[in-house]
Structure formats: C-alpha cells, structure tokens
Structure 1
C-alpha cells in the first residue's frame, strides 16, 4: 500500500510566505480611489509569488499533495469590488499551473464554511455559486481543469436533515456542470455524517472526500470496512486515487479542534482498515503545523515495522 501526504495552504517552514495576505473591504474603502486597484494588484501578486514558493518547496521536499489558499485574490467575490484577478497575472497563473503539471502534484481548493447549498435563503445559494466560480476561475487560470478539485461540505441541517438534504440537491443542481464535475463532498463533524454524505455523493455522482477526524466526532452506523470501499468507488468517474483528510483532536475536551500535529495512534485504526482493503491512498494533513505536521507524520509512521519511506512524503506499507 502506498500512502502519499500533503498539507494545506502555507508551508510554515518558509519565512513570510503566506499566500493568503489580506485586503479587507474596510481597508479597501479607506484607500484613495486612485490607489485601490493598485493595492489589489500588489496583494494578489504577492500571494501568487508565495503560492509559487509553496510549489517549489513541495517539489524540493517531494510532497505530492497541496491545497491552494482560497484567499489568493482578495475581494474577488465582494459584490462592490468584483474584479478581474486573472488577466493582469495571466503568465504567473500559467507558470504555477505548468509547475504543478510538470511535477505531477495533486492540488485542490476548499472554500470556506459559508459556501453553502443547504440554506433556505436564495442569496446564500447565489453567493455559493459565485464563490465556486471564483475557485474554478483560479483553476482555469492555471490550466488545471483536468487536475484540481474543489471540496465542500453539504452544510447545516437547519433543524431538519431530511428536508434540508432535499434542498441541497435542488440548490446543488444550479451549479454549472463544468464546476460540479470537479467538486467533491466531505462528511461533517456535526451535521451530515459519513454515511449521509456518501449517499449524497452517489446521488450527485461526485467523489466522497472522507474526513477521518470528522467521522470519529460524528459517527454513523455503517462500519468503515463497508463504507470506505463504497466511498472509494465514487472516485472512479474522475480516474483519481481516493483522498482522505487527516487530523487528530486537540484534546478530549476540544475533540473537534485540530491538534498541531497528527497523533499516529489516532489514525492507525484507519490505516489498518485501508491495508485490509488493499487501497493506495492520499492523505491531506489538516493539522495546525501544516507542512511540519505532514513531514513529522511521515517520520513517525516510518518507525513502524514494515513501513518504508520512498519519498519526502510518500510511504510504502508492506
């Protein structure tokens, strides 16, 4: 079994490398009109440069998975600002995409919790579509339409799971087909559990993004030995290896919060199930220490008999 690992957004081992430098609408409004656009350009360009640094870091350390920041282009979806974040940087976007493709990195986006298709308010759904179009626009700018994915949660239950999931399917149908084609759905730690999310994935024909920590915080009746193979089958349409989100609890009291690093003992039961299934897998590490957590987990797992490190963040488990 081969396990590949990656991390989210920022390699904190690098100095001042955040690809999510912000420009708030309040600050934007305080600026003189003649410099507002230049400020948008300068912040976005810095985020693109830092994204490129992240890709080079991943290549140098042989880390095959990376989740892009959703905040590369500030205020791109704000109704009073919306601006063309692609044209001024077209060459830089394509350079980043070319690096990703050349080195066969697996990349993705994960919009925030406000990108919802379950709300009874039509404007929330409309904004969710705008946000998904923004993420797709970045993917398209990099030329990664056939490589990258956008992952979201189903969303809140609004006091009635059965009624809300029907509304989710109605709202999700409004998403443009080319965006839906690269969308995945992830199980939640409070509302829609793994079994419920997998059912929605099958109905929508989208891949199931299994989050192990969320699953342990919000258990379902179906055992993982049965659920995981069914979930992995949803990836067959897009021809990609299944991916799983990995983190461990900060504490028993703060069980849903992510710890700085991943506790190997927490995820070993999952790995044993994956070995019994015989499934190669990709792990997206969602720990607070990001790249450091991914590389430390590799080192921790390598200490186990039968585990061989065959890349910077790649393991072979015999």
Structure 2
C-alpha cells in the first residue's frame, strides 16, 4: 500500500508567498474606475506567482499532492464584478499548468462552505453554480483537468434531511456535466455522515473524499471498515487513486477545529484499518502548520515497523 501526502494552499516558511491576497469589494468600489481592473489583475498575478513558488517548493520536496487556494482571483464571483481573469493572465495560468503536468502533481480545489446544492433558496444554488464554474475555469486554464478535482460538501439539513438530500440531487442536475465530472463529495463534521455522503456519491456516480476527523466528530459509531471499501470504490471510474482528509482535533473542547499538527495516535487507527484493504490512496493534511505538519507526520509514520519511506512525502506499508 502506497500513501502520498499533501497539504493545503500555503507553504509555511516561504517568505511572503500567500496565494490568497485579496481586494474587498468595498476597497474596489473606492478606486477610480480606470484603476479597478488593473488592481484586480495585479493581485491575481501576484497570487499566481506565489502559487508557482509554492509548486516549486513542492517539487523540490517531492510533494505531489496539493490543494490550490480558492482565493486566487479576488472578486471573481462577485455579482457586480465577475471580470475576465483568464485572458489577460493566460501565460501565468499556463505556466502553473505546465508545472502540474510535467511533474505529475495531483491538484484540487475546495470551494467555501457556501458552495452547496441542498439549500431551499434559489440564489444559494445559483451562487454554487457560479462558484463551481469559477473553479472549473481555473483548472481548465491550467490545462489540469486530467486529475484536477473540485471538492464540496452536501450542505445543510434545513430541518428536514431527507427533503434536503432530495433537493441536493435535484439541484445538482443544473450543474453542467463537464463540471460535475470533476466534482467530489466529502462527509462533514455535523450534518451528513459517511453513510449519507457515500449513498449520495453512489447515486450520482461521484467520487467520495473521506474525512477521518469529520467521521469521528459526526456519528463515529458507524462501522468504518464495513464502508471504507465502498468509499474507495467510488473512485473506480477515475484515473486517480482515492483521497482522504486527515486532521486532528485542536482540543476536547474544540474537537471540530483543526490542530496545528497531526496527532499520530489520533489517525493511526484509520491507517491500520486502511492497510487491511491494501489500496493505494492519497492523504490531504488539513492542519494549521500545513506542509510542516505534513512532513512531521510522514516522518512519524515512517518510523512505524513495516513502513518504508519512499520519498519526502510518501510511504509504503
């Protein structure tokens, strides 16, 4: 069983390399009209340059799994702006995509929690469609659609979980097939547990991203070994291995919040369980210390008897 590890957005330790620099609509509105577009282009170009620096860091450290920041383009989906962020920066998008392709990186996006299809409000569904289109266009501009995925949650229950799930399936029909093809669903820590998410994935033929921390926080009594093979099976029609999210509780009081680093004791039961399936998969580390947390966890796992470290960010067990 081979496991590759990755992290989210920011490489801790790189000086001034945030890929999420922004421009608020309030600030945008105060700018003279002729300066507005130039400012948007400048900040986006900066974010793309910083993303490139992060990718070079990843390449140097043999990190093949990475989640882009969803905030690469300020005001991309704002109804009063929604500007063309592709044409003027075509070269920059291509440069990132060339790195992804050449070094065979696995990349993804995780839109914010407002990107959901279970709401009874039409404007929420419309915003979700706009958000999914925005993320798809970025992957397309990078020519990273081969392995690039967009991961979301089902959403809220709105007082009636069954009705909300029905609405989710109904609203999802509005999503263009070419975008849906690059979508994954993740179990959450409060509402839709692994079985509910898995059932939705099987019904829609969507790969499921399993989040272990969310599973423990939300109905952890469900017999995970019984369902894990089914979760991994949802990836069978893709050309990539399953993906799992790993994080640790910040504390008993803030159990759902992510800690700075990953507790090996917390995640080891899952890793031992997954080993029984003998299935290669990738792990996305969701910790405050990002790449540093990832590298520390890889080191700790590599110290387990029977585990062999095969690169800076991958092990064989």
Same fold (TM over 0.5): yes
Map residues 105-144 of structure 1 onto 2, 5 A cutoff.
Answer: 105-144=105-144
Map residues 1-318 of structure 1 onto 2, 5 A cutoff.
Answer: 1-219=1-219, 222-317=222-317
Question: C-alpha offsets along residues 260-280 of structure 1, whole Å, 9 cap, x if unaligned?
Answer: 000001000001111111111
Q: CA deviation at 1:220?
A: 5.3
Q: Which runs of 4+ in 1 moved over 2 A?
A: none
Counterpart contact for 1:90–1:141, Cα < 8 Å? yes
In 2, Cα distance between equivalents of 1:56 and 1:266: 31
Q: CA deviation at 1:222?
A: 3.8
Counterpart contact for 1:195–1:220, Cα < 8 Å? no
In 2, Cα distance between equivalents of 1:209 and 1:306: 26
Question: C-alpha offsets along residues 213-258 of structure 1, whole Å, 9 cap, x if unaligned?
Answer: 0000002554111111001110011121000000010001100000
Question: C-alpha offsets along residues 31-72 of structure 1, whole Å, 9 cap, x if unaligned?
Answer: 111211110011000000001111111000001100000000
Q: Which runs of 5+ in 2 are unaligned?
A: none
In 1, Cα distance between equivalents of 2:188 and 2:122: 23
Question: C-alpha offsets along residues 185-218 of structure 1, whole Å, 9 cap, x if unaligned?
Answer: 0001000000000000000000011000000000
In 1, Cα distance between equivalents of 2:137 and 2:5: 26
Compute the TM-score of the two structures, normalised by the length of structure 2: 0.99
In 2, Cα distance between equivalents of 1:311 and 1:249: 27
TM-align CA RMSD: 0.8
Counterpart contact for 2:115–2:131, Cα < 8 Å? yes
In 2, Cα distance between equivalents of 1:311 and 1:27: 45
In 2, Cα distance between equivalents of 1:165 and 1:73: 31
Counterpart contact for 2:151–2:186, Cα < 8 Å? yes
Q: CA deviation at 1:173?
A: 1.1
Compute the TM-score of the two structures, normalised by the length of structure 1: 0.98
SS in 2 for 1:21: coil
